[in-house]
Amino acid sequence: MNLRTDPAANVLKTGPAYAIIFTVAFCHLLNDMMQALVPAIYPLLKEAYHLDFGQIGLITFCFQMTASVLQPIIGAITDKRPSPRSIAASMGFTFVGLLLVSQAGSFEIILMAVAMIGVGSAIFHPEASRVARLASGGRYGFAQSVFQVGGNAGSALGPLMAAVVVLSAGQASLLWFAGVALVNMALLARIGSWYRAHRIARAQASGASAGISLTRRRIGFSLVVLTVLLFSKNFYMASMSSYLQFYLIETFQVSVATAQMYLFAFLGAVAIGTFAGGPLGDRIGRKYVIWFSILGVFPFTAALPFASLGWTLVLIVLIGLILASAFSAIVVMGQELVPGRVGLVSGLFYGLSFGFGGIGAAVLGEIADQTSIGFVYKLCSFLPLIGLLTAFLPNLRKR
């Protein structure tokens, strides 16, 4: 795969740069796989360092604060001062973090290590999302979907790698994943070379506004609506990814293996839906995809708490397919509302997505402790009604 194209011949080439899009998606897979190792090795860390649940929560806090809060800040900085080298430098932080975790001798070192991994992720996402947009050739939804599917695959691989490698070979085996960070750094350095050569011409093409003439107040309000819609989506997704297995075991008395197969079916549907949402938004408009994805899933979420085991499988697949299609449309619409601030918007939405998922899992866990896991799904079934707020979004396609 040749990423070092001739800028003079190709900088204004029409159509998507598929090699760049798929390579940056693969880098997203590797980044999110390494990021997903952190919660996956909690049982190992808890036993090795005699940690209590409060200390485990502090590890999560340090990791999520750096990974989510820093993303929009870094995105805003790189909007004003683009830095093609930063995308490869992000893996330097991840490398150091994994190195520290593998050799950590104390709880304090672990906190420092996961914070470093979080910083690496915070630098990576805004700039990698910008590269995907620059390489899209105008197919912004398609590029964003491919990029996001890479991250979804990496998040799914992280726990698998932890189970196969780390939990069996021990904490020191994280050194192998530090080596993966170096491989990712090499790939991102090549991506950075393309980014540096194509940034000006591609930024002019991808940052151009398609006749958008909205007031600053309307743009700000639209971004708030998109944020609330993202909240609705990620809270419901947190209920599924964190508690679906417990719901199935408690409600239908299935085995753990069966519950895991249902979760796998849901996550597979999420991956397909994530990919489908972007190209569909390119074709029919982002607003219509958001309408269908957030509000359109309500009949299925409302039916889920009352369904039999067989219908539960059908419903969770439909929910995963429909609900996941919103994310790419939300990110791309945000980028179109604020042309030239791709890093800020991408960092904001990726950071919020990560943060909302973590908060949702914690809040819903507390509700389940006080009531029941079945009540959680009845309560969450109304979250898609927040999709009615889509009516307040501008129709950028018509404009």
Look at residue 8 in the predicted model and tell me its pLDDT.
36
pLDDT at 156: 76
Task: Kindly state the percentage of the chain with pLDDT values over 70.
Answer: 91
Q: Give the residue extent of every domain in the chain.
A: 12-206, 216-392
Q: How far apart are CA 251 and CA 254, in angstroms?
A: 8
Name the percent of the chain lying above pLDDT 90.
Answer: 30
Q: What is the mean pLDDT of residues 122-131?
A: 88
Contact status, residue 220 vs residue 34, Cβ threshold 8 Å:
no
Q: Which residue has better confidence, 108 or 345?
A: 108
User: Do the domains spanning 12-206 and 216-392 agree at the CATH topology level?
Assistant: yes
Q: Which residues contact 114 (CB under 8 A, 6 or more apart)?
A: 38, 59, 62, 63, 97, 101
User: If pLDDT is split at 50, 70 and 90, which confidence band does 289 have?
Assistant: very high
The CATH homologous superfamily for domain 12-206 is: MFS general substrate transporter like domains (1.20.1250.20)
Tokens standing for residue 312 = 């539960």
- Closest alpha carbon to 395 in 331, 317, 337: 337
Q: Which tens digit of pLDDT belongs to each residue from 14-70?
A: 678 899 999 999 999 999 889 888 877 877 888 888 877 678 778 877 887 788 778
Confidence class of residue 202 from pLDDT cuts 50, 70 and 90?
low
CATH 3.40.50.970 fits 216-392, yes or no: no
**What average pLDDT is seen over the chain?**
84
The residues, ordered by sequence, that sit 6+ positions from 67 with a Cβ below 8 Å of its Cβ are 35, 117, 118, 119, 121, 122, 351, 354
- Predicted structure pTM score: 0.75
- Higher pLDDT pick, 349 / 116: 116
Query: 204: pLDDT confidence band, cut at 50, 70 and 90?
Result: low
| Alpha helices (H) along 81-106 | 86-103
Q: Tell whether the model's pLDDT for residue 169 goes beyond 90.
A: no
Q: Say how far apart CA 125 and CA 122 lie, in whole Å.
A: 6
Average pLDDT over residues 116-128: 90
Q: Which whole-number Å values give the CA distances from 174 to 100, 124, 158, 162, 267, in the listed order?
A: 9, 20, 12, 9, 26
DSSP one-letter code for 207: S
Is the Cβ–Cβ distance between 372 and 365 less than 8 Å?
no
